[in-house]
Amino acid sequence: MTQRLIRWTRPGVALAAVGLVALALSVGARAAEQQGGAVLPGGDSKEPIHIEAAKLDYFDKEQKLIYTGNVVATQGGSTLKSSVLVLYLTPKTDPDQAGVPSSSSQLRRMEATGPVTMITKDQVSTGDRGVYEKGENKLYLYDNVTVTQGTNVTKGDKMTYDLTTKKAIVSGRVKSMFLPETTAQKDNSAKSAAPKEDAAKPKKPKS
């Protein structure tokens, strides 16, 4: 059987926004909306996932979508950047049904190759490859992993982020660097913690 390929290309601009409803994926040539569980670390499960790329290839038989070219995926305040992002969907119940994924399709796996960068509210993580497994509800970052939080940096071979417990584990040959708080940072922290003075009261007019 000939592999069915559906391709949308619009170089240099956002191509598609992909969304999952309770992790059910509905994809259109232009856009779709997502309101399911968080797929990105720090992502809000109530927020849609939007994906922008230069090109989208959809393989009907394999139920696979491949985004290429400056891929940016966002969910709430979290962002994932990569060169290529591949989404794997569950097989269709009706093998004769052709075309783009329906609302009955479910995301089962996501692969990002890169370099890959994940940005959350207070942390930046980088690596050569990232994988999301729906069955485990975990996101993995592999090879040359660097996790930066403020001035603190941790490096390793692999990072595992549990989207259920919100716990991250860096493994392999782990190296960490924690910088002491500088005097300027201490002063700024003290100023931020200090109670603000009441606004000056207006002077009474002279009689």
Within a domain: 26: yes
Within a domain: 201: no
CB 57 within 8 A of CB 66: yes
* Per-residue pLDDT tens digits for 185-199: 566 666 666 666 555
Within a domain: 64: yes
Within a domain: 70: yes
Residue 188's φ and ψ, nearest 5 degrees, are -65, -40
Within a domain: 140: yes
Within a domain: 203: no
- Categorize the per-residue pLDDT at 140 as very low, low, confident or very high, splitting at 50, 70 and 90: very high
d(CA 202, CA 126) in angstroms, rounded, equals 54
Q: Could you tell me the residue range of the domain that residue 60 belongs to?
A: 5-97+104-182
Within a domain: 138: yes
Residue carrying the six token digits 């491949």: 66
CB 106 within 8 A of CB 88: no
Q: How many domains does the chain have?
A: 1
Within a domain: 118: yes
The closest of 83, 89, 48, 80 to 67, measured between CA atoms, is 83
Span 23-40, mean pLDDT? Answer: 40
SS3 181: coil
CATH code, domain carrying 128: 2.60.450.10
- Categorize the per-residue pLDDT at 97 as very low, low, confident or very high, splitting at 50, 70 and 90: low
Over the range 126-151, which residues count as b (16 or more CB within 10 Å of their CB) and which as e?
Answer: bbebbbbebeebbbbbbeebbbeeee
* Per-residue pLDDT tens digits for 56-79: 999 988 889 999 999 999 988 889
- Categorize the per-residue pLDDT at 49 as very low, low, confident or very high, splitting at 50, 70 and 90: confident
Model pTM score? 0.66
